[in-house]
Structure 1
Amino acid sequence: MTNPEADPDTHVCVDGGLPGPRAECADGVPVEIITARAVPLGGPCAMNVRRTLPQRQRSLIGAWCFVDHYGPDDVAATGGMDVAPHPHTGLQTVSWLFEGAIAHIDSGGNSADVLPGEMNLMTAGAGICHSETSSADTGRLHGVQLWVALPEEARHSPERGFEHFVPEPVGFAGGSALVFLGSLLGSRSPVSMYTPLVGAELRLDPGAELALPVDPGFEHGLLVDTGGSVALEGVPVPEDAMGYTGVGARTLRITNEGVEPARLVLLGGAPFGEEVVMWWNFLARSTEEISRYREEWQRHGERFGRVEGYVGHGGPGRNREGMARIPAPELPRVRMRPRKNPPPLARGQIRDEPTTRG
């Protein structure tokens, strides 16, 4: 998915130095709450996404650098998703749906349907472009779109990779898990990773408690999709927000104290040790790289290739606004300056304005 903002924030993520104040915790592991901000995908009636990463509070969790959470969206009211061809560099996109279907086409010659419980992963490397359109028979659209930052040794690869994986459910007392990236609860995903990561959908029955073994070298974020009474280490995590724990924990205790089932997304990874400049759909290492990528996209350069066969909601080759591809926003007039990502320890909460579902 593209970042649709006309004036996107710049994020330059570096080592945060010494730990700041720790978040309070009800039990053993400190928890920091990251609330979401609303971002429209375009137009007055278009669907909104709820973004928890990146934010001023925290830009990365491991190499996870972008978390958009959307739906359940009534496609009849909003028109659903119609994202015309747009570029990416230096990252992997991870698409994970709860409801609906999305057609993916990229300039690596890959086309696939994104379906609930099935992961699609696209590796941009040096450059790729793709389109994403909800299917005609989709009534409700609901899921997450995630980005992973690529390390230096992988981000210049000319290969435009694509992988599809359907994880088998892993049962545990009081719920189940779908592990789509990395390993957890004895389940391992075969999907390519360039830094140590984990990604999983967790379902918890009402009243259930899960003592989840995790890698102590990872920092983790727990996104609450459904379940209004979820707690992480005894700390309540609201719907659409993320509970963050830093490195060092060997077990995370997750409880569903409500009367309805809870659905959660766990993301984790080893702290990402490289400086990353994030602007619009580009991940780079400097302002000069970002400027070059933007210029190449605007002049239809070969770095990104072409999407063949895009059919948008406006007809063959066009989205509902009549665009055949999404133009890049204007670059900021000032040099992109570093913003320090905090150390991988839960800290005092610096909340953005919370958002509610549309």
Structure 2
Amino acid sequence: MSANPAKEIEVFAPREVPLGGPRAMKVRRTLPSRGRSLIGAWCFVDHYGPDDVTQDRPGMVVAPHPHIGLQTVSWLFAGAIEHRDSIGSHAVVRPGELNLMTAGFGISHSEVSTPETTVLHGVQLWVALPKGRAQMNPDFARYAASPVPVAGGQVTVFLGELSWLDEDAATHTQSSPVPTQTPLLGAQIDLDAGASLHLTSDAAFEHGVLVDTGSVTVNGQVVQAGELAFLPSGADSMVIDTPEKARILVLGGPPFGEEILMWWNFVGRSQSEIEQARARWEKESNGVAPQRFGQVRGGMERIPAPALPGVNLKPRK
């Protein structure tokens, strides 16, 4: 097996952005970053917490807002979030449970941390839908993933399949039953201090390693807490080492191979598609009978769409 040398690994530092309006909580965004828009079909990585939400802090309060052309993946390490959407889904997102919302042609939803939450900590991820599925019907799926012990830690796969070698070089695999629209990998790995884990990765995949806590080396490249490492396709092995207790997310998929436009909460293929989605959201918010994005129950006011920039959106790939 071969491993990507450290010189081929790019490391992206997070930038802090507000999420959810005037009293927004702060999140750390590593994807998209300058020079990297996608890792497989993964097109958005927001990382937040651990935040103490007991001291007159709002936690997560994201009022109803629209999406097209993507899937959202909610994954928590601590706390709980109440999800409501316009196709009638009502769920509480908890640690270790995948919540996968498919926007397709159009959906709207809200996300609010629950009153009993004291510490909020997790990630919000987006997956771009391929052209042939970008207009699919909206959907919502849940999956309680089970952690599997490994030497020096545990692995929890919430999307796709992940394999690793044990101390005797035997291969072990964990997979998720949740169907995806493109090949994807999403997994949480918890490691004890001094642990080393040898992953056998799909050479057709490019991978991202987001470090939540601790510091790790990925094929010899140091990656600090909050950073995202990008590994290009072509290697069939990834070695994760850590001198301290650490938690990481491993994301992956084959290169997406399509240009997309990303603006606000939309993923599209053309300027007109984005403009039409924005206009439709504003019309529905102003009292036009909902036909595309629907209504989210719960009594919260919709988030109005921002103004489009005065220039055409730049394609990402």
* TM-score calculated relative to the size of structure 2: 0.91
Deviation at 1:337, TM superposition (A): 3.0
**In 2, distance between residues paired with 1:187 and 1:42?**
35
Summarize deviations over 1:92-148 as a string: whole Å, max 9, x none: 000000000000001111110000000100001100000000000000100000000
Distance in 1 separating the partners of 2:131 and 2:21: 37
Question: Equivalent residue for 1:248?
Answer: 234
Residue 260 (structure 2) aligns with: 276
Asked whether 1:99 is paired with 2:78, we answer: yes
Per-residue CA deviation, residues 317-342 of structure 1 (Å, 9 max, x unaligned), is 13xxxxx0101100011112335x4x
State the match for 2:314 in structure 1. Answer: 337
Change (3 A) 1:110 1:43: closer
Aligned residue number for residue 65 of structure 1: 43
Partner amino acid, structure 1, of 2:48: Y
Q: Which residue is 1:172 aligned to?
A: 150
Q: Is the 8 A contact 1:95 1:144 kept in 2?
A: yes
Displaced runs of 4+ in structure 1, greater than 6 A? none
Superposed counterparts of 1:7-156, under 5 Å: 27=5, 30-41=8-19, 46-77=24-55, 78-156=57-135
Q: Does 1:196 align with 2:173?
A: no
The one of 141, 147, 157 aligned to 1:163: 141
Cα distance, 1:160 vs structure 2: 1.8
Retained in 2: the 8 A contact 1:26–1:234? Answer: no
What is the Cα-based RMSD across aligned positions, in Å? 1.6
Counterparts of 1:69 and 1:181 in 2: how far apart (Å)? Answer: 18
Q: Any stretches of 5+ residues in structure 1 without a counterpart?
A: 1-24, 311-316, 319-323, 342-358
Is 1:217 the counterpart of 2:194? The answer is no
Identity rate of aligned residues, in percent? 55
Greater relative contact order, per chain length (Cα 8 Å cut-off, separation 6+)? 1
Q: Is the 8 A contact 2:4 2:238 kept in 1?
A: no
Q: Distance in 1 between matches of 2:88 and 2:213?
A: 35
CA–CA distance in structure 2, aligned partners of residues 336 and 44 of structure 1 = 25
**1-structure distance, mates of 2:313, 2:89:** 34
Cα contact 1:26–1:235 (8 A) shared by 2: no
May I ask how many residue pairs the two structures share in their alignment? 300
CA distance in 1 between counterparts of 2:103 and 2:191 reads: 34
TM-score (norm 1): 0.81
CA contact (8 A) 1:177 1:202 kept: yes
| Structure 1 residue 168, shift from structure 2 partner | 1.3
Between the aligned partners of 1:180 and 1:249, the Cα distance in structure 2 is 22
State how far apart, in whole Å, the 2-side matches of 1:277 and 1:141 are. Answer: 31
Deviation at 1:165, TM superposition (A): 0.3
Contact 2:107 2:138 in 1 (8 A): yes
Deviations 1:146-186 (A, max 9, x none): 000001111112x2211100111112111111100001131
> Secondary structure of 1:76's match?
coil
- What residue number does 1:236 align with? 222
Gaps of 5+ in 2: 164-172, 285-289
What is the CA distance between 1:28 and its match in structure 2? 6.3
Q: Distance in 2 between matches of 1:270 and 1:128?
A: 26
Kindly provide the CA deviation profile for residues 31-89 of structure 1, in whole angstroms up to 9, marking residues without a partner as x. 11011110012567642100001122200000000000000011124210010000000
Are residues 1:304 and 2:293 paired? yes
Judge conservation of contact 2:210–2:226 (CA < 8 Å) in 1. yes
**Secondary structure at 1:334 match in 2:** coil
User: Counterpart of 1:34 in structure 2: which amino acid?
Assistant: F
